[in-house]
Amino acid sequence: MSNIFKPGQNCWRVEHAKRSAVLIDGENYFRAVRKSLAQAKQRIMLLGWDFDERVEMHDTSETPDGPLRIGAYFDWLLKNNRDLDIYILRWDTGALKSFLRFNGLKTLIRWYLHPRVHFKLDAHHPVGAAHHQKVIVIDQDTAFCSGIDVTNNRWDTRSHDEEQQYRMQPDGNDAGPWHDAAMVVQGDIAHALSEYAEQHWRDAGGKQLKAVTARADCWPKGLNADFQNCPIAIARTLPEMDDQEGVHEIENLYLDLIAAAKDFIYAESQYFASTRIAAAIANRLSEPSGPEVIIINPESTEGWLESEIMDSARARVHEAIKARDKHDRFRILHPFTAKGTPIYVHAKILIVDDQYLRVGSSNFNNRSLGFDSECDVALDASGATDKKIAEQILYTRNDLLAEHLGVEESVVREAMEKTGSLIKTIDMLGKSGRRLRPYQTPDIDAVQTWLADNDIFDPKRADDTFAGIVSR
């Protein structure tokens, strides 16, 4: 039983997970995806913001079976299994660049002619909105829900090395250190994610799906489960359209999780621009005994337009929150390598105390809360009799901090036991080498002048002005 999930309000469904695991960074994600795909008997479904058939699924610790390139790997799977069908649904606007690549166009044409590859561009969204969820489902048995697309710039190891030959992109460039996250699930929850994917396929006008009758174990071979036999919720954002009611489960769950926090809120997000999320955090920080709040962001968002809009929005919400943070319990932090290279944060994670863990595609921005289509999964340990679930949630948070601080998880755990504070632990361990650096508000005088004339926490404001760019 869950103490927080409310189907129809802050989630769509709550289903049993036989097994689940958090996958941190691209190498671990692509290794697990490759191994799970290899177990498929009848059907693979992939929903994404982007899909690049040239992406290579390198592995620095194992020798993979089959081709490294995902497009060639799909061909290899189809050749070795005559019962397999592959369905790929990607955002239509983002697909335009694929047609400019000769090899990409050649692959798409070949797949279009293949009787068991079904490729569909999703135009079922308002103008300017994006099909942003990242879901892969294998035989209705195992599913991945994440912030990671099968596209450029997503592969990296947890060490985020300064030089990494396998991080080279199809265009020959190194995208630099990249931090990301996913969750893999098995059981009834995977079947529910299959239904989610099937509905999106139908809404996009996809052809009739072939039924899955095989009962196969598609869990990635060799991957240890972090959690077993626990309830997991699926939360969605769906934009309002003529043929579709708006769904705001993701926003509602964010607000409920922030309200439920007792001691610590730890989040990783590509953006921090939602006034609704910021107001909820500010309210908790104004409480004398409210939680500490740590948000891990990239130093700057990618692209001039994203930087201009989203970084400006972050400056404003940061200063507005700090004005309410009388007890100094709020930090926005950026990860850097030992040599001072910023690590880009693309992960979408929320961990509240040792009770709630959430991973998915949604960011702390208005697009994710009401304009794009999004999908997150969340786990609740508060009603569980098995204490291992809460212990693993705590381990996951400490392990993420350890990665960012360049230490072992045990070092973070010991520091937390000593300080009882995320902020003091980060200050203690982040003095040299890999570290988390505090956010510095650019042009603080201009931001404070703007805030003096604008109350961004005014409940009359239905939307903030920082949503009008395409999420990644």
Angle at 139 between CA 134 and CA 142, to 5 degrees: 55
pLDDT of res. 105:
65
**CATH classification of 18-230 is 3.30.870.10, yes or no?**
yes
* DSSP β-ladder status, 247-248 and 227-238: antiparallel
Q: Can you list the positions of beta strands (E) in 211-329? A: 227-238, 247-248, 264-268, 292-296
Report pLDDT digits (tens) over 165-185: 999 877 778 889 999 999 999
Q: What is the pTM of this model?
A: 0.93
Contact call for residues 376 and 244 (beta carbons, < 8 A): no
* DSSP β-ladder status, 374-380 and 356-360: antiparallel
Rounded mean pLDDT of the chain? 90
Residue with tokens 């863990």: 357
- Rounded percentage of the chain residues whose pLDDT exceeds 90: 72
**Choice among 134-138, 192-196, 330-334, 443-447 with the minimum mean pLDDT:** 443-447
Distance CA 379, CA 17 (A): 10
Q: Which CATH architecture is the domain 231-453 placed in?
A: 2-Layer Sandwich (3.30)
pLDDT of res. 464:
41
Q: What is the DSSP letter of 468?
A: -
Amino acid identity, residue 315? A
Q: What is the DSSP letter of 329?
A: -
Residues 205-221, mean pLDDT to the nearest whole number: 94
Burial class (CB in 10 A: 0-12, 13-18, 19+), 136: buried
pLDDT of res. 100:
56
Banded pLDDT at 465 (limits 50, 70, 90): very low
Banded pLDDT at 460 (limits 50, 70, 90): very low
Domain boundaries, the chain: 18-230, 231-453
Residues 459-464, mean pLDDT to the nearest whole number: 39
Q: Is 369 left (phi over 0), alpha (psi -120 to 50) or beta?
A: alpha
Nearest residue to 158 (alpha-carbon basis) of 22, 25, 338:
25
Report pLDDT digits (tens) over 397-435: 999 999 999 999 999 999 999 999 999 999 999 888 899
pLDDT of res. 449:
79
Strand partners, 292: 264
Nearest residue to 348 (alpha-carbon basis) of 372, 375, 324:
375
